């Protein structure tokens, strides 16, 4: 069984702050996480940002932070975001922001500098998966310019050539890079332009806002 080798910062459009992770998974990866500046108890230190949503983030801190502690984290230079630690599990801390942030705007700022690729963005939408003449239903879990993670009942082998379809994006050909149970990592045959993904994310963000208003 081939495992995904690298853990990178995950972005989400969700209003909910990240939940406490399942310790049985997620520790088998190498880490390549975004670094943030953490301000807590009158001191400044660095932290690793494991994932970010509109409502909060999960960080890997280098000092003990108790639930209820107020803090701020600088995501962009000179632009700290304040919040409260909701939970702590050894070095991991879940933070709820005082007010939601615009994740799409944050991603836009992240891609305007020297960084060569957009990070992963969390999804929760239907996807179609085609291998030769076989069509399968799938759920997209996250996407980047170079690939996609999804769940499907399809029995696909690493190395299989597939075409992935998601509403709002053009169909894209790729290769199954790894499989872990029902989870698959798909590497695209081409790199999605930033403008295509940003347009897709804007539409996703607007749809989430409409759902919250309707709900």
159 and 192 both lie in a single domain: yes
Q: Classify residue 116: in a domain, yes or no.
A: no
Q: Are residues 96 and 128 in the same domain?
A: no
What pLDDT, on a 0 to 100 scale, did the predictor assign at position 32?
Answer: 54
Looking at residue 123, its pLDDT comes to: 87
Query: Do 203 and 139 have their domain in common?
Result: yes
Residues 97, 10: one domain? yes
Rounded Cα gap, residues 215 and 212, in angstroms: 5
Task: Establish if 20 belongs to a structural domain.
Answer: yes
For tokens 């790199």, what's the residue? 191
Give domain status of residue 107, yes or no: no
Indicate whether 84 and 139 sit together in one domain: no
Same domain, 97 and 127: no
Binned at pLDDT 50, 70 and 90, residue 26 comes out as very low
* Residue partners of 94: CB distance under 8 A and separation at least 6: 17, 18, 19, 20, 56, 57, 58, 85, 86, 87, 88
C-alpha angle with apex 125: 188 to 96, nearest 5 degrees? 105
Looking at the structure, tell me whether residues 205 and 131 fall in a common domain. yes
Give the pLDDT of residue 110. Answer: 58
Percentage of the chain with pLDDT > 70?
85
Instruction: Indicate whether 1 belongs to any domain.
Output: no
Q: Are residues 16 and 87 in the same domain?
A: yes
Domain limits for position 54: 6-101
pLDDT digits (tens, 9 = 90+) for 109-166: 655 554 445 677 888 899 999 999 999 999 999 988 889 999 999 999 999 999 999 9
Give the closest residue to 129 by CA, choosing from 101, 107, 149: 149
With cut-offs at 50, 70 and 90, classify the pLDDT of residue 28.
very low
The per-residue pLDDT of the chain, averaged, comes to 83
Considering the domain boundaries, does residue 164 fall inside one? yes
Q: Is 213 helix (H, G, I), strand (E, B) or coil?
A: helix
Last residue of a domain, one of 101, 136, 154: 101
If asked whether residues 149 and 91 sit together in one domain, one would say no
Q: Are residues 94 and 21 in the same domain?
A: yes
What is the tally of structural domains in the chain?
Answer: 2
């Amino acid at each position: 069984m081939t495992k995904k080798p690298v853990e990178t910062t995950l972005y989400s459009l969700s209003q909910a702050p990240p939940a406490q992770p399942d310790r049985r998974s997620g520790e088998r990866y190498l880490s390549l996480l975004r670094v943030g500046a953490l301000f807590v108890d009158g001191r400044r230190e660095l932290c690793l940002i494991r994932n970010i949503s509109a409502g909060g983030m999960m960080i890997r801190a280098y000092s003990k932070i108790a639930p209820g502690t107020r803090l701020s984290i600088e995501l962009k230079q000179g632009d700290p975001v304040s919040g409260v630690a909701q939970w702590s599990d050894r070095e991991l801390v879940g933070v709820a922001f005082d007010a939601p942030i615009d994740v799409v705007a944050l991603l836009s700022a992240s891609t305007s500098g020297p960084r060569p690729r957009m990070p992963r963005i969390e999804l929760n939408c239907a996807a179609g998966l085609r291998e030769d003449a076989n069509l399968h239903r799938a759920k997209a879990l996250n996407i980047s310019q170079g690939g996609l993670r999804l769940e499907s009942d399809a029995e696909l082998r690493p190395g299989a050539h597939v075409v992935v379809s998601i509403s709002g994006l053009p169909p894209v050909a790729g290769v199954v890079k790894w499989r872990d149970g029902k989870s698959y990592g798909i590497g695209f045959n081409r790199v999605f332009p930033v403008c295509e993904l940003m347009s897709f994310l804007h539409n996703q963000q607007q749809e989430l806002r409409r759902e919250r208003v309707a709900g």
